[in-house]
Structure 1
Amino acid sequence: MIFLILNTLYRKLHQPSGFLFGLFLVLLFTIRFFMEFFKADQVAFEAEMALNMGQWLSIPFILFGSALLLLKRKPLPL
């Protein structure tokens, strides 16, 4: 699904370098963040955490991808 979205955008929008990578990071790690709610805890200390380790590790990648999207987007025509 992510490949189809990125491939379509690559062919139609011709975004600047870095935009599609940022979108890839946001899509992949957002999906991973929500999928982690359905997984069983890997280690005992995760049972007491509000978010498990996979979710905590996904957050920086979502933020980095969002920053790339903002920095590498095409400027709006005036």
Structure 2
Amino acid sequence: MNVDVLQTLINSLGFPIVMVGACGFFIWKMYQAQLQDKERLYVELGKATAANEKFAGIISTYTGKLESIENKVDKIQDKVGA
């Protein structure tokens, strides 16, 4: 913003009114930035949730395979130990 425009506003409206307007504009801009950040976080949270669900499925698959292997090892141990 040009200094002459700011000086004219202060002279015509007064310093407190101009500062209230500037602070209001600043708050509005910060609020808009916060909304954009929030939307980006929701997108990333959705991606993380989907990845966690896939990992949970993989872990459950490997848990079942590990239990199967443990059962086979127990059977082999029974045959060898007997």
Q: Please confirm whether the aligned pair reaches a TM-score higher than 0.5, indicating the same fold.
A: no
Higher helix share: 2
Structure of higher CA gyration radius: 2
TM-score by length of 2: 0.33
Scaled by the length of structure 1, the TM-score of the pair is 0.34
Structure showing greater relative contact order (alpha-carbon pairs closer than 8 Å, 6 or more residues apart): 1
